[in-house]
Homo-oligomer: A and B are copies of this chain.
Amino acid sequence: MENSTQRQLAELKAHLREVDDLRSVGSLLAWDQATYMPEAGAAARARQIATVEALAHEKATAATVGHLLDALQPYAETLPYDHDDAALLRVARRNYERATRVPTSFAAEVAGHVTESFSVWAEARPANDFARVRPYLEKTLEFSRRYADFFPGYQHIADPLIDSADFGMSAATIGPLFEELRQALTPLVKAIGERPQVDDSCLHQHFPAAGQRAFGEAVIRDYGYDFRRGRQDTTHHPFMTKFASGDVRITTRFDESDLGGGLFSTLHEAGHALYELGIDPAFEGTPLNEGTSAGVHESQSRLWENQVGRSATFWQRYYGDLQRIFPEQLGGVSVEQFYAAVNRVEPSLIRTEADEVTYNLHVIIRFGLELDLLEGKLAIADLPEAWHARYVESLGLRAPDDRDGVLQDVHWYGGLIGGAFQGYTLGNIMAAQFYATALAAHPEIPAEIGQGRFATLHGWLRTNIYQHGSKFTASELLERVTGGPLTLAPYLHYLNTKYGALYGLREERGRP
């Protein structure tokens, strides 16, 4: 590398590191708002987040970044595709080109707006008060449309929003995939509904939060989550957030009358955290230092939550520990009963508490609503009722109120509309693809899980997925790791096998 190239690369990295610092600071402001901030701090917090977002956006879009990228282009072209510098320059350029479409004032305005909107939602949700958030949501929809319009030439107005979360994806690629999935799930849900139902009342006794926390944290420690590099707090809506390679935090929420909610949230967010913690430390401060897409991220949270945490071998190892914490509640419940309970399939109202089979129907509803809202087919005023109608249609249920309807998820209240949900289902699909590949390479993984040993699986994921951060796109990663593109087959196979056995379905039922 020539001296001048070295200097330019160092200059670019220093600049990107400042952007990264500001983004981390913005994340801390949001984490604090969700965890510990006193209520009267909200208005100033919105302003502070907007100030930091504006500075980050200003720095990210500074002309000097463009000049450095141009100057470094000849160097990039000499490098193999998967050289770290090549990836850095490729991803930095992609981010730069995307960010420069959006004016700084707009980015700051949106950041301030969604922070305020989040605060209003946090009060409106328990009060079941859609009217209070409605004007905020209308403004959010307007911002979302304006965001899309900074990317003229899109095929569907949702595409720029989808692309910002799941690079390379679009309404045209996701729509048919989701439809195919819906058509495969509907008969499976129906077949399960015709079988004797699982009794999960063992999960709905009184479980003090301290015991729930102790158990969940012991499990994720075994997974490999390092509490010297993170921590777990409680929030209304669980999330994972990263302030540095050495500081990746998760949150959960405990419901003392529902053992599953807090536990599986903890496992889920820990999956996100393992991904971030596993990225090559050399990428710290660069745009490569984050998971590559919403879908791949979700594949990791869902894999640790479901493929691992809801598996029979997992509970063979951990159920005794849980019984020791809750002897009165679980002493008389067998591991088989418990395993069935945590995998009970039943159409329900709340996405985050949904079982693996019906979960995607929740996502598909939201994805469809986002498209309709953005297209202008659906007004915010009509959204609560449209929500109920889709639930009746897809899941046969109507929420008694908006709290468990359109107010249930934070996403539209703390971010833009569009691109907010597809990652969850893409993640489920990818999780099955990745996990099948891992099992093929290491058939011993389930047995190890049964002994509370996760090093083989964790190591495989780190080597094949985590360490790369954003170096490869989701499609590239799928291709490299599984040898093929995104495909439903492993996921449907996983669901049909697992739930076929649990519910005693005939083999041919529910096959794709």
Spell out A's residues near B (CB within 8 Å).
17-18, 21-22, 24-25, 28-29, 32, 36-45, 47-48, 51-52, 55, 226-231, 233, 243-247, 249, 284-285
Contact = CB atoms under 8 A, between A and B. Distances in A.
Contacts of A43: 244, 246
Contact of A38 (B41, B55, B230): B230
Nearest to A32: B28
A152 B22 CA distance: 35
Contact of A229 (B28, B40, B226): B40
Contact of A18 (B24, B37, B51, B243): B51
A18 B25 CA distance: 15
Contacts of A228: 38-40
Contacts of A45: 243-244, 247
Contacts of A32: 28, 32
26 contacts: A18-B51, A21-B48, A21-B51, A21-B52, A22-B51, A25-B48, A28-B28, A28-B29, A28-B32, A36-B233, A38-B227, A38-B231, A38-B246, A39-B246, A40-B226, A40-B228, A40-B229, A41-B244, A41-B247, A43-B246, A44-B243, A44-B246, A44-B247, A44-B284, A45-B247, A48-B243
Contacts of A17: 47
B41 A246 contact: yes
Nearest to A40: B246
A426 to B, nearest CB: 30
User: 7 closest A-B pairs (Cβ-Cβ)?
Assistant: A44-B244, A41-B247, A40-B246, A21-B51, A40-B229, A21-B48, A41-B246
Contacts of A249: 38
Contacts of A246: 38-44
Contacts of A284: 44
A40 B247 contact: yes
A382 B25 CA distance: 39
* A32, A43, A227: most-surrounded residue (chain B CB, <10 A): A32
B231 A36 contact: yes
A18 B284 CA distance: 28
A284 B47 CA distance: 12
* A55, A284, A285: most-surrounded residue (chain B CB, <10 A): A55
Contacts of A52: 21-22, 25
A126 to B, nearest CB: 17
Contacts of A29: 25, 28
Contacts of A48: 21, 24-25, 243-244
Nearest to A50: B21
Nearest to A54: B18
Contacts of A47: 17, 21, 285
* A24, A25, A39, A43: most-surrounded residue (chain B CB, <10 A): A25
Nearest to A249: B38
Contacts of A28: 28-29, 32
A152 to B, nearest CB: 32
Contacts of A25: 25, 29, 48, 51-52
Contacts of A39: 228, 246
Contacts of A285: 47
Contacts of A38: 227-231, 246-247, 249
Nearest to A37: B247
Given A28-B32, A41-B247, 18 more contacts: A18-B51, A21-B52, A22-B52, A24-B44, A24-B48, A25-B52, A28-B28, A28-B29, A36-B36, A36-B233, A38-B227, A38-B230, A40-B229, A43-B244, A43-B246, A44-B243, A44-B284, A45-B243
A230 B37 CA distance: 8
A233 B37 CA distance: 12
Contacts of A21: 47-48, 51-52
A44 B43 CA distance: 28
Nearest to A21: B51
A285 B24 CA distance: 23
Nearest to A31: B32
A488 to B, nearest CB: 39
Contacts of A36: 36, 231, 233
Nearest to A229: B40
A41 B248 CA distance: 9
Nearest to A24: B48
* A21, A43, A249: most-surrounded residue (chain B CB, <10 A): A21
A13 B55 CA distance: 18
A246 B43 CA distance: 8
A38 to B, nearest CB: 5
